Amino acid sequence: MAIIAPDIAIDLGTSNTQVYVKKKGIVLDEPTLMVVQDGKKRTVKAFGDDARLMLGRTMGDVSAVQPLKDGVIRDYDMAEYMLEFFIRKSIGSSRLVRPRGWITIPSSVSAVERKVVREAAENAGIRRGALHMIEKPFAAALGSGLPVFEPKGSMVVDIGGGTTEAAVISLGGIVISKSIRTGGVKMDEAIIEYIKREFNMLIGDRTAEDVKFDLGAALQINDTRRAFVRGRDLVTNLPQTVEINSNMVYEALKKPCQDILSAIQYVLERTPPELAGDIMRSGIHLTGGGALLCGMDRLIATELDMPVLLAKEPMECAIMGIGHLSENSDWLQRMTTGLIQRPEEN
Ligand SMILES: Nc1ncnc2c1ncn2[C@@H]1O[C@H](COP(=O)(O)OP(=O)(O)OP(=O)(O)O)[C@@H](O)[C@H]1O
Ligand SMILES: [Mg+2]
């Protein structure tokens, strides 16, 4: 029986949660999802991957729960259960001394939201007083290989499920950042709205996400792709199938894409000139699953006239960033707040 648990890093995302164990790497990557049975007491039927398999196949008082919304915990009890389950699954539970932990948080969270994350993580199994909370864009920048500790400006835009975080980083700290509650989930919602408006048909969240994967585009593309989509006719209430194409999905995604562009522009406009020069040379680095939307990199490059680079494994940057920090805890001393300005949430 191991006495001391290894350090553990958790990227707690709105859509996906990943766990990195020191000296092992990423050991868990599952949807931030659970299936819960309501009653006098709520009982959890499944977590993560197992919960996703049950999606849409549940009935009555059994429902899917997403404990995070827009990057922050919205269902405290469920978030704590889920973290406890994922921690146990990653390192087992036969430890006398609990692990030290690293966890990501959005860069704009309030003191109360920070406290909620801390308490959930500590109740779920992280040693009390041994939890480091690292802002997501910093973790994503470090994990995508940017020189975050150097006296040079680096820019990262992390487009996740619930949030987009644009940040300029230098000398171990965030110089300026903007976090908006727009990401992959808002894109799915925009597709649902579009199909409702144009075809009077309601589609589910998963169908919307599939449409985004197959036909989604941030830019108008020449070779139009098409697909049949199934849903429920809102007039007759009967199942219905309609054909949609990539240009329709492009129309649907215009607003969330514009919001992301505005957030990046906001940060660029407030970046000190020397750092802006560095970013002109090294480019804007895109991370997070939403960065995989077809044409997102080209849209940003064209609209902002800047070089844009998509990270190699965009969905693993944040977890690799805090994973590296857990392997090199002396780096913490090199982290500064470096915060010149943090705008209010819009
Ligand atoms: N190929 C793709 N095209 C478009 N979107 C994609 C693609 N692959 C993944 N996504 C989207 O990326 C999102 C998940 O990304 P990610 O795992 O980085 O988010 P997260 O870390 O859970 O969320 P957050 O950091 O905002 O809390 C989902 O909305 C998913 O639909
Ligand atoms: Mg994320």
Which mean pLDDT values do the consecutive 10-residue runs of the chain (346 residues) have?
83 98 97 93 94 81 93 95 96 83 92 93 94 95 97 97 97 95 98 98 95 96 90 96 96 98 98 96 98 98 97 98 94 67 37
Contacts of 254 by beta carbon, 8 Å cutoff, 6+ apart: none
Token pair belonging to 301 = 């490059």
Cα–chain center distance at 154: 20
Residue for token pair 């059994």? 62
Mutation to probe ligand 1, out of 10, 11, 12, 14 (largest number of atoms < 8 A from CB): 14
How many Cα atoms within 13 Å fall on the side-chain side of residue 173? 12
Strands (E) across the chain are located at 8-12, 16-21, 25-31, 34-37, 43-47, 62-65, 68-69, 72-73, 101-105, 131-135, 154-159, 164-170, 173-180, 201-202, 226-233, 239-245, 284-287, 308-310
Q: What is the torsion angle, in degrees rounded to the nearest 10, for the CA atoms of residue 52, residue 53, residue 57 and residue 58?
A: -60
Distance 195 CA to ligand 1 centre (A): 21
The pLDDT of residue 345: 37
Tell me the C-alpha distance between 308 and 242, whole Å. 36
The pLDDT of residue 245: 95
The pLDDT of residue 270: 97
Distance 160 CA to ligand 1 centre (A): 5
Given a contact cutoff of 8 angstroms between Cβ atoms, the answer to whether 161 and 187 are in contact is: no
- Ligand 1 binding residues, C-beta < 6 A: 13-16, 71, 136, 160-163, 183-185, 209, 212-213, 216, 288-290, 292-293, 315
Ligand number nearest to the C-alpha of 140: 2
Distance 279 CA to ligand 2 centre (A): 22
The pLDDT of residue 337: 56
State which ligand 1 atom lies nearest to the alpha carbon of 314: 18
The pLDDT of residue 336: 78
| Positive or negative: CA dihedral 219, 221, 225, 230 | positive
Mutation to probe ligand 1, out of 15, 177, 312 (largest number of atoms < 8 A from CB): 15
Tell me the C-alpha distance between 244 and 167, whole Å. 36
The pLDDT of residue 59: 75
Cα–chain center distance at 283: 21
> Does the pTM of the predicted model rise above 0.75?
yes
Q: Which of 11, 10, 13, 310 is nearest to 185 (CA)?
A: 13
Cα separation of the two ends of the chain = 50
Q: Which of 222, 230, 209 is nearest to 290 (CA)?
A: 209
- The angle at the Cα of 104, spanning 172 to 211, to the nearest 5 degrees, equals 120
CA nearest ligand 1 atom 20, residue = 13
Tell me the C-alpha distance between 308 and 264, whole Å. 12
